[in-house]
Structure 1
Amino acid sequence: MSSTLELCAGEAALGLLPDVGGSIAYWRSGDMEFLRPVTDPHLVAQHGRAVAGYPLVPFSNRVAGDHFRFEGVDYHLAPSFAGENCAIHGNGWQRRWRIDMLSDSSATLTLEHTATRELAPQWPFSYRAQLRYDLREAGLSIGLLLENTDTRDQPVGMGFHPYFPRHDGLKLGFAASSVWTNGPDHMPALRIPAEGPWSFAHMRDVGQAAIDNCYGGWSGSAFLRWPRRGYALTVEASPELRHLVLFTPPAHPYIGLEPVSNMNDGLNRPGIADAGMRVLAPGQKMEGHIRMTVARC
């Protein structure tokens, strides 16, 4: 079993799993767990480890049919989500990350992906990614950097996939202009206004709604509140991350709330102006930042 690296700041503790995709194992302070460790049998590369959050590089969510076309070339990705014919969440979560910098409350992890014959089915371009965690007693900051180390242009996206506990009357609020409905293949089908049952503009109970959809035109802020525990959490993301994937599987004790740069299947949606995939020339970089702040309520 991979060892857990722990950061501390006052009463707060953050467990990291560099060998398991640079993932978060836990984030807690006192009697409150702000992230919920989840074992997902569909993500076989996590080897059955419970993780509470993980980076999404070099793209977020699904790629239809494990296939995309870029600059006239067809690329085929290895499926990475058991039970579905799709690659999902890039390959950073499948790999071991190197510890580059470490202090009591901060860690910087690095992944060097070289598109060798063995690894190209994960992602056909070479890149370097850095992931920085900064823990404070009142919050957690996550920084993502991706650099194109290939000799060719490449399309990239990024984000982070945290799991939040769904107990104690969890309430959620955020503003977004639109949401993508899904077809039978779980791919985006129709863009509609984020209104009615899709709207979280006024904070409301998450309840047992079944949502697994990508919101567009996200304001960059989301608010979670556990009223029976007396805690609230604000999630803020930098302008590069203007899509938000909400995942609320019924009868499960967690939700996913993922700040990301690209819409689901963004690699196959070049005609959509805000699909969110960015083309990096060799040597170019992309960054994204997420800050989660704790408060008592």
Structure 2
Amino acid sequence: MTCKQMQNQERIVLNDSQGELVVDPLMGGAVVNYDFKTSQGLIPILRPGDSFQRSGPFSLGCNVLVPFANRISGGGFETPQGILPLSSNLVGEPFPIHGNGFQVPWQVSQVKDLEICLTLQSHGPSHFQYSAQLRYVLKLGSLQMELDVTNEAEEALPYGLGFHPWLAREENSQLRFNATGCWLENFEHLPTEHVPPGSGSSTDFSTEHDFPDGLLNNAYTGWDGIADLIRPQHGLSVQVTAESPLNCLQIYSPAAEADFVCIEPVNHTVDALNNVGKPGVISPKWLEKGECLSVKCCIEPRLI
């Protein structure tokens, strides 16, 4: 097992007997590449990121979501102190999306054995002030991720956390997970109706299911914390697991022929702060000053 730093690109590489992990602290603390070692050679578990260029956060393998996930409409949301304004943070996106953690450099606090620890001190967006710790561990080829956030603002604020892996797949790949509800969306990718999986335009993945021909971009509620991506071309199953409070699973697939799918464990539904009280809405966690929130997720490849 080895751990080395790529000096030219300031990226960190972890290696064990079954996996290889590359992390870029400067690009939002993101995972660049994560590969599984087999007798066939290296198999990408995450869609391979830029090897040497930093063309953008969504050209990487896995992004960290903090202090909120997905979109927030209406220019912000209401707090006990009044409206907390939020502006768009990505070109081409009318609404703020995925917080700011994926867009800013993180500091390396520790690299040892098969573990990377990163930290972030953030003043913003808007009223948000927080400190965050991000931990990656490579263990027998599996990737364990842990994110902790502490509210350092004077006021109580809602914190949304999650992970945004871009998992590699092939056209014959299938997905399986259990959930009790699904949010449909409109053309702005905002939630419209909460339905049972399989109703309307939603897909039920309770048994192994192909990806739909068109866009799939839904938040699934009542998720049991386990999702399996089956990749028969490589004789591989990739399991994504998460612990509470990551009880919502956002699935994004642009088309059936896409070479990736995003399987995103998050702790709240899309635009939850502007839909409080509606059935199926999962709200982010309100934290008083000094309070913390921790989330964990694991990606584990398995030969089948």
TM-score (normalised: structure 2): 0.88
**For 1:81-100, what aligned pairs fall within 5 Å after superposition?**
81-100=90-109
Letter in structure 1 aligned against 2:12: L
Give the Cα separation in 1 of the matches to 2:57 and 2:116. 24
Contact 2:18 2:141 in 1 (8 A): no
The 3-state SS of whatever aligns with 1:191 is: strand
Q: 1:195 to 1:268 in 2, by over 3 A?
A: same
For the aligned residue pairs, the C-alpha RMSD in angstroms reads: 1.9
- % identity of equivalent residues: 28
Structure 1 residues 232, 36: closer, same or farther in 2, change over 3 A?
Answer: same
Please point out which of 18, 25, 28 is paired with 1:21.
28
- Deviation, 1:3, is 2.7
Q: 1:249 aligns with which of 245, 249, 254?
A: 254
Aligned partner of 1:230 among 227, 235, 253: 235
Q: Give the drift of 1:50.
A: 2.5
Give the match for residue 4 of structure 2. Answer: none
Q: Secondary structure at the match of 1:93?
A: coil
Q: What is the 5 A alignment of 1:211-290?
A: 211-250=216-255, 251-272=257-278, 274-290=281-297
Question: Structure 1 stretches (4+) deviating beyond 4 angstroms?
Answer: none
TM-score normalised according to structure 1 size: 0.90
Pair 46,94 (structure 1): closer, same or farther in 2 beyond 3 Å: farther
CA contact (8 A) 2:20 2:141 kept: no
Kindly tell me the number of residue pairs found equivalent between the two proteins: 286
What is the rounded CA distance, in whole Å, between the counterparts of 1:231 and 1:89 in structure 2?
Answer: 30
Please name the residue that 1:203 is paired with: 208
- Structure 1 residue 84 displacement after superposition: 2.6
Between the aligned partners of 1:293 and 1:73, the Cα distance in structure 2 is 43
* Secondary structure, counterpart of 1:228 in structure 2: helix
Letter paired with 1:227: P
Mapped pair 1:126 → 2:129: yes
> Mind listing any 5+ residue stretches in structure 1 that lack a counterpart?
40-44, 115-119
Which residue pairs with 1:33 in the alignment? 44
5+ residue gaps, structure 2, are 1-7
Query: For residues 76-115 of structure 1, what are the structure 2 equivalents within 5 Å?
Result: 76-114=85-123
Paired AA for residue 253 in structure 1: D
Q: Residue 7 and residue 38 in structure 1: after superposition, are their counterparts in 2 closer, same or farther (change >3 A)?
A: closer
Could you tell which deviates more after superposition, 129-138 or 30-39? 30-39
What's the counterpart of residue 117 of structure 1?
none
- Report if aligned partners of 1:64, 1:265 keep a CA contact under 8 Å in 2: yes
CA distance in 2 between partners of 1:192 and 1:11 (Å): 40
